[in-house]
A = this chain, B = another copy of it.
Amino acid sequence: MAEQPVESGVSRRGLLAATGGFAAGVAVGTLLGGAGLAGLKAKAQEVPAWPWPYVKLDPDAVAQKAHASFYEGACNYAVAKAILSELRDKVGHPYTVIPYDMFRYGEGGVVGWGTLCGTLNGASAVIALVTGKPAYPKLINELMGWYTQSEFPRYVPAGQQALPTSVSGSPLCHVSVTKWAVASGYGADSKERAERCARLCADVARRTVELLNAHLDGQFAATFVPPESVKTCLSCHGKENLNNVRQIKTDCVQCHAPHET
């Protein structure tokens, strides 16, 4: 537990864990008598303060764990578990109480609906959990933008060959998978596509840790620039004019044909 920072926002329970754990809590409770026990019981039932403490992680270790975890519970689970379990090992409580299995729902863009890529869903939840305001929207925005504009998959497990790559242009599972299937020639239902998604878990988990490490060091700087179509389309559809599109960052022409005003 030596690596656990004692944050100002940490709960009493977190503090107990940091200073010797549950057994120390028992001793304190015994010494304090009835009132102490009641207070200890109340504190033990508190939600740990947000954001949860983050310590620098090794992007390579997290990437390797995310790749392996894909085959346990798919994309959303893999990215969340890879980062949260590393934090569990390094920080302890409160990362001991978060249920990784909850994240299984994000598979295939939420139980196969092809919406948000599960890697981004899991990564975004973790970023929000460990950074808080005002950082998390900036870091997630950067991750989402990077995802839409990058060649994937990059990760290659030891002793294996690289897979063909593609750029999704979108954070949606349906678009990401189909673009890769067309580019690679592998079926969307193939074991190669599954391995592509496993490697994408590694890529997204690694990038997430890089962003979190940079943020911890005060070195995070946003670089994502939305596609030109977003600016063009919002010039009419945005709040200054038609006001029928709230906000968007994805390339509009993936779904909408360009048109004259």
Could you tell me if A100 and B172 are in contact, using CB atoms closer than 8 angstroms? no
Which residues of B have CB within 8 Å of A40? 22-23, 26
Knowing A45-B92, A244-B188, A248-B114 touch, does A50 contact B101 (C-beta < 8 A)?
A: yes
Among A22, A103, A113, max chain B CB count under 10 A is at A113
Knowing A22-B40, A110-B116, A144-B110 touch, does A246 contact B177 (C-beta < 8 A)?
A: yes
Q: How far, in whole Å, are A21 and B100 apart by their CA atoms in the complex?
A: 24
Q: A250 interface residue, CB < 8 Å from B? A: yes
Which stretch (A53-61, A64-72, A135-143, A199-207) binds chain B?
Answer: A135-143
Contact with B along A87-129 (1 / 0, CB 8 A): 0000011101111111111101111111110001100110111
Could you tell me if A97 and B250 are in contact, using CB atoms closer than 8 angstroms? no
Contact with B along A35-56 (1 / 0, CB 8 A): 0011011001111101110000
Could you tell me if A102 and B116 are in contact, using CB atoms closer than 8 angstroms? no
Knowing A104-B128, A111-B144, A189-B243 touch, does A22 contact B44 (C-beta < 8 A)?
A: yes
Q: How far, in whole Å, are A17 and B171 apart by their CA atoms in the complex?
A: 41
Which residues of B have CB within 8 Å of A48? 97, 99
Could you tell me if A114 and B246 are in contact, using CB atoms closer than 8 angstroms? yes
Known pairs A101-B132, A112-B249, A190-B243 / 12 extra A-B pairs, C-beta < 8 Å: A22-B44, A26-B37, A48-B99, A50-B102, A98-B99, A102-B128, A110-B116, A111-B124, A112-B248, A174-B246, A188-B244, A193-B246
